[in-house]
Chain A
Amino acid sequence: MDLLEYILGKSNYWASIVLMMIGLHAMISKNNLIKKLIGMSVFQTAIILFYVSSSAKRGAKIPIIHPHGDHADKADHAAEAGHHAADAVHHAIDATAYENPLPHVLMLTAIVVGVATLGLALAMVQKVYAAYGSIEEDEVLAAIAEATANGASISMPSPSDSPAQGDVSPS
């Protein structure tokens, strides 16, 4: 029983470590830039899971304070007085009854910023594909080496090339 408790108590760390290593492996060994980005996202998710799991408390509720003893909620409160009579006596909030909000806050912003930076990374990959015709790392590196060996500047498609119709004159 003790062993089971130990395994369950540590399983969250093991899960994040395994996910983190999967992401790291993909970032190092994969040749395809998109697969590297997928690895980065998996790595990021592992960190997020690690933080969020550290905020858990056994038997605690989500970090939204229930309106105990609030005058406006007297009627609501009376309905469940049986359960919460003890809590209503003292107004002080018991810190062990609610989960730790701080990791949730940190990860909330990290998720949205992660989406925005992933979008920027995908845009860069699109640019690399437009310039070198490939998103395989070795092919891109070979193309760069060839271009520098020839002494020629890397031919980037200029923005005006992309629209097929040609010039646009704003009138």
Chain B
Amino acid sequence: MKAFASILVVVLGAVLLHASKDFPLLGDAMSPANNHPVARHYIEETVNDTHVRNLVTAVLADYRGYDTMFETVVVFVAGIGILAVIGVPTARIRQNENLGSTRQFGVDSDLIILQTCRLIVPVLQLFALYVIAHGHHSPGGGFQGGVLFGASYILLALSGGLREALRRLSESLSFRLAAFGIVLYAGVGLLSMALGGNFLDYAVLDRLLPGDVAMARSHSMLIVEAGVGFTVTTILFVIYANLATRGNLEDGL
């Protein structure tokens, strides 16, 4: 198997290296990918269409809204899949009973680690909210902010124990919030259908939202990004909590 893998890799690598001589040079503004009408349209028209300066956010949440919505669904389904594969059903019943127990925050943690993480976690969560909310004008958006927010709960679990983190964001609440994020995203799409547009056609929402058509698209993108943020945050935490404890949600790592 090793010999077969080496031969395959060498041959395939040689073919690909040979093919790379037909590729455009790095940084070529006239390359087919960069000079495509769609790519040019995104750069030239986005600000007129949506008033959003961060083109990545605009393309992600508006022009390619279908793609992003179902990517979010994939993240949600991955969370459900982890629960189905390694989740221990009885652990969930017991965990709900134990949640009320009074346990000191991070009794078995080192003092320095505990106090440092206590300082970092709120700042990290605030920054995550900023990244989601300011994604229209600076690097950021729902995925990035969601990952940061999820990381703050993982940090809490690492420093103060998983039980403490689960007391603040339980698994059932996580899944409810994750589903809420997708419902929020799809709800914006269905609302625009109800108002006579296409699915996720934010332009028709200008009857409900303040500002002109472009501002309506900008505001709808914020709602949609918040939905993405809910799902990514909670599913990331669920993935950590289940993998770290083999699905029984007792104190693992």
Binding site for B on A (CB under 8 A): 5-6, 8-14, 17-18, 20-21, 24-25, 28-29, 53-60, 62-67, 92-93, 95-96, 98, 100-105, 108-109, 111-113, 115-117, 119-120, 122-124, 126-127, 130, 159-160, 162-163, 167-168, 170
Contacts and interface: CB of A to CB of B under 8 A. Distances in A.
Interface string B235-253: 1100100110011101000
Nearest to A124: B85
Contacts of A162: 88, 91, 246, 248
Contacts of B23: 10, 13
Contact of B4 (A28, A98, A112): A28
A62 B93 contact: no
Nearest to A28: B5
19 contacts: A9-B26, A13-B20, A17-B13, A21-B13, A28-B4, A28-B5, A60-B29, A64-B53, A64-B55, A98-B55, A100-B39, A108-B144, A115-B236, A115-B239, A116-B79, A123-B247, A124-B85, A162-B246, A168-B90
B59 A123 contact: no
Contacts of A64: 53-56, 137-139
Contacts of A111: 143
Contact of A109 (B4, B5, B42, B68): B68
Contacts of A65: 46-47, 53, 55
Interface of A is mostly: helix
B119 interface: no
Interface residues of B, number: 75
Nearest to B243: A122
A159 B247 CA distance: 10
B179 interface: no
Nearest to B235: A116
